[in-house]
Amino acid sequence: MIPKPKHKRRKPKRSKRGEFSKKTIEAIYKRDAGLCQICASKGHEIHHCKFKSQGGRGVYQNGLLLCSNCHTKVHQSFELAEKLRERMMSRYGADYFRDRWDLND
C-alpha cells in the first residue's frame, strides 16, 4: 500500500477549480454593488457565465451576481445565457472563464 503524500497540491483538482472562493464571491458582490445584473434587484446568487459543465472556472471574470428568479431564467433560456457570456467576453476577453492553470497549458 502506498502512503498518501504529505505535500500540498500544486494544482487544485478539476472539481475544485469550478468553485468560487469566499474572496472571489466578495469581490463579485462589490463589483456588482449587490444588485442583480439583469433586473437590478438585490442579488443573492453567483452565476457561472461559462457553465462549469463547459469548462468555466470559479474566477472573478466568470461570475455574475443574480437574483434567484433571474438565475433560474438564465438556466432556462439559452439566448439569455449566451447574451451574458458575450457581455463578459467583451468586458474581459475571450479567455474570461479560464483560471491561471488553464492559461499555462
All domains of the chain, ordered by start, with CATH? 18-104 (3.40.1800)
State the pLDDT at residue 105: 54
- Rounded CA gap, 97 and 55, in Å? 8
Predicted confidence (pLDDT) at residue 45 exceeds the cutoff of 70:
yes
Choice among 3-7, 46-50, 76-80, 92-96 with the minimum mean pLDDT: 3-7
How deeply is 36 buried, as exposed, middle or buried, from its count of CB atoms within 10 A (0-12, 13-18, 19+)? buried
Residue 8 has pLDDT above 80, yes or no: no
pLDDT, position 7: 77
**Phi and psi dihedrals of 104, rounded to 5?**
-85, -15
pLDDT on residue 92: 92
**Mean predicted lDDT score pLDDT of the chain:** 89
- Average pLDDT score over residue span 67-82: 96
What's the pLDDT band for 1 if we cut at 50, 70, 90?
A: confident
